[in-house]
């Protein structure tokens, strides 16, 4: 049994208040000092919060120290937030320091209200911790018990509650050119089982070096999983120096640039995989088969870094919020991508500062669409902290199913202290069943482009 204890005694921390004219006055509270690059992760790896029994539990990479490479070594951390008092607990350390930012933790709760934390995942099994007792009214203290590994190797794990009192974890199995798959647990995360074949393996023929990045969201009935992915040439083995030549921009690029959008739907009961038209697909899906059967947007060599955010439209079909390059490699815009009348439509929303700006897309109870974007006019360059983007956080809304969008407000901590800061990786606060807590969002920010001195932020309406 690990001896990292969590005490949920509430201690008031410093916070900043952002006021907006003609709007409600949300609080934007800071927590988790000494964060490093991807202190809170992008859309590939979730969730990093769970709200239950009146308490919000958040995990992040923090307690960082500078390293020789300037990357910094950080620990997986856990902190709780009491929305009634609008205050945080003291943070708890969940593991040792490491320089790999992919090791960022995720958190979820099973159907018996036991908390789970998974950290240290990047071509490794990581460390899976389970609380030794369930959460009761947010006022428990508990130890962590290390559970058996979920799989021999995981990268970018994401966990969801699904139908039948089960949890599903979706992840990449090894390195860049490896497959993506999932496993399901019916016993509170002790054992996990998956399909016979992995879902996607773009380089399954072993000759192309093509890879993918993926995001996902369960269907409303919890019996299917919507998966959207970009593809890119990892080009580790080809002697051809022109493999990275981008014909649209007429220059060589790198594997930072991910192209196109492809979509599959996984039946979590039968393991059958289908495309958007319901056609059953053979698995694993390679790059040629994905292009023929799964592609929903040929971006014509316009690129992104991070895959899109996903939400469901009023009919339960997937819709995406995607950042994409424009007239050159330093010009980017956000697009709302959805299916209407059997065709995929793409509506431009606003400008962004980088191909790696990670956003969030949601639909509230009234049907209003909310796009939380990392916006700005100038391309962000320079420094280790900046290499995956950053900008100002804006909220855009649509009342007509994404046909038109209007900027509602900027969402940043107020005050001179935060002038010149960059922010990124907007994500929702969720309940154990995966539903979003309206009026709460997480993101992180930094000022020094080279130092592991970021802070995390909670927006609380």
In this model, does residue 459 exceed pLDDT 80? yes
Strand locations in 295-375 (E): 295-297, 303-304, 309-312, 318-325, 332-340, 343-352, 360-363, 369-375
User: Minimum mean pLDDT among 4-13, 26-35, 208-217, 360-369: which range?
Assistant: 4-13
The structure tokens listed for 289 are 């088969």
In this model, does residue 245 exceed pLDDT 50? yes
In this model, does residue 6 exceed pLDDT 70? no
Phi, psi of 214 (to 5 degrees): -135, 145
What pLDDT is stored for residue 11 in this prediction?
37
Distance from C-alpha of 296 to C-alpha of 328, rounded to nearest angstrom:
23
Distance from C-alpha of 190 to C-alpha of 116, rounded to nearest angstrom:
11
- pLDDT digits 0-9 by tens, 152-174: 999 999 999 999 999 999 999 99
More confident residue, 26 or 434: 434
Range of the domain at 251: 2-460
What DSSP designation does 416 have? Answer: G
In this model, does residue 20 exceed pLDDT 50? no
In this model, does residue 445 exceed pLDDT 50? yes
Distance from C-alpha of 55 to C-alpha of 50, rounded to nearest angstrom:
8
Q: Are strands 258-267 and 273-274 parallel, antiparallel or unpaired?
A: antiparallel
What pLDDT is stored for residue 71 in this prediction?
78
User: Minimum mean pLDDT among 6-15, 240-249, 413-422, 449-458: which range?
Assistant: 6-15
Give the mean pLDDT of 212-232.
Answer: 98
User: Please, which pLDDT band fits residue 414 given cuts at 50, 70 and 90?
Assistant: confident
What pLDDT is stored for residue 15 in this prediction?
39
User: Minimum mean pLDDT among 136-140, 255-259, 267-271, 373-377: which range?
Assistant: 136-140
What pLDDT is stored for residue 66 in this prediction?
84
What pLDDT is stored for residue 425 in this prediction?
98
In this model, does residue 269 exceed pLDDT 60? yes
**Closest by Cα among 306, 311, 312 to 324:** 306
As a whole-number percent, the residues of the chain with pLDDT over 70 amount to: 93
Q: How many residues does the chain have?
A: 461
CATH number at residue 231: 2.120.10.10
In this model, does residue 373 exceed pLDDT 70? yes
What pLDDT is stored for residue 14 in this prediction?
40
Distance from C-alpha of 358 to C-alpha of 389, rounded to nearest angstrom:
8
CB 86 within 8 A of CB 440: no
What pLDDT is stored for residue 25 in this prediction?
55
**Closest by Cα among 392, 394, 429 to 408:** 394
In this model, does residue 313 exceed pLDDT 80? yes
Q: Based on the structure, what is the number of domains in the chain?
A: 1
Average pLDDT across the chain, whole number: 92
What pLDDT is stored for residue 139 in this prediction?
65
User: Please, which pLDDT band fits residue 237 given cuts at 50, 70 and 90?
Assistant: confident
- pLDDT digits 0-9 by tens, 46-102: 999 999 999 999 999 999 988 776 678 999 999 999 999 999 999 999 999 999 999
User: Please, which pLDDT band fits residue 23 given cuts at 50, 70 and 90?
Assistant: very low
Give the mean pLDDT of 179-205.
Answer: 96
Give the mean pLDDT of 1-8.
Answer: 45
In this model, does residue 221 exceed pLDDT 90? yes
Distance from C-alpha of 383 to C-alpha of 128, rounded to nearest angstrom:
33
């Amino acid at each position: 049994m690990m001896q990292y204890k969590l005490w949920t005694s509430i201690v008031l921390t410093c916070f900043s208040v952002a006021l907006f004219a003609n709007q409600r006055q949300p609080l934007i509270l800071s927590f988790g000092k000494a964060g490093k690059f991807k202190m809170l992760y992008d859309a590939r790896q979730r969730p990093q919060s769970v709200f239950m029994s009146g308490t919000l539990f958040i995990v992040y990479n923090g307690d960082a120290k500078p390293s020789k490479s300037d990357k910094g070594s950080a620990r997986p951390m856990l902190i709780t937030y009491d929305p009634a008092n609008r205050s945080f607990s003291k943070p708890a350390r969940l593991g040792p320091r490491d320089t790999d930012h992919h090791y960022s933790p995720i958190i979820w709760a099973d159907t018996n209200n036991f908390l789970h934390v998974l950290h240290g995942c990047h071509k490794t099994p990581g460390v899976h911790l389970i609380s030794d007792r369930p959460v009761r009214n947010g006022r428990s203290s508990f130890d962590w018990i290390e559970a058996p590994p979920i799989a021999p190797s995981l990268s970018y794990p994401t966990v969801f509650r699904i139908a039948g009192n089960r949890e599903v974890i979706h992840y990449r199995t090894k390195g860049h050119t490896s497959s993506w798959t999932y496993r399901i647990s019916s016993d509170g995360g002790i054992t996990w089982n998956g399909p016979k074949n992995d879902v996607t393996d773009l380089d399954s023929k072993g000759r192309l070096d093509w890879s993918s990045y993926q995001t996902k969201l369960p269907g409303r009935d919890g019996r299917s999983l919507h998966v959207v992915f970009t593809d890119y040439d990892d080009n580790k083995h080809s002697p051809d120096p022109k493999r990275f030549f981008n014909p649209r921009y007429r220059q060589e690029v790198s594997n930072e640039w991910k192209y196109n959008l492809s979509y599959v739907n996984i039946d979590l009961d039968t393991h059958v995989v289908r495309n958007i038209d319901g056609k059953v697909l053979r698995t694993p899906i390679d790059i040629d088969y994905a292009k023929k059967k799964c592609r929903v947007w040929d971006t014509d060599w316009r690129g992104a870094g991070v895959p899109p955010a996903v939400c469901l439209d009023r009919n339960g079909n997937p819709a995406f919020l995607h950042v994409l390059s424009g007239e050159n490699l330093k010009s980017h815009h956000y697009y709302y991508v959805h299916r209407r009348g059997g065709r995929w439509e793409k509506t431009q929303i606003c400008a962004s500062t980088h191909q790696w700006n990670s956003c969030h897309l949601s639909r509230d109870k009234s049907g209003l669409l909310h796009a939380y974007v990392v916006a700005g006019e100038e391309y962000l360059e320079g420094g280790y902290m900046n290499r995956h983007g950053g900008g100002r956080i804006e909220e855009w809304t649509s009342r007509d199913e994404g046909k038109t969008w209007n900027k509602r407000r900027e969402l940043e901590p107020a005050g001179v202290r935060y002038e010149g800061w960059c922010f990124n990786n907007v994500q929702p606060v969720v309940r154990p069943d995966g539903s979003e807590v309206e009026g709460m969002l997480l993101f992180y920010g930094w000022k020094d482009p080279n130092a592991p001195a970021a802070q995390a932020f909670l927006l609380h309406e």
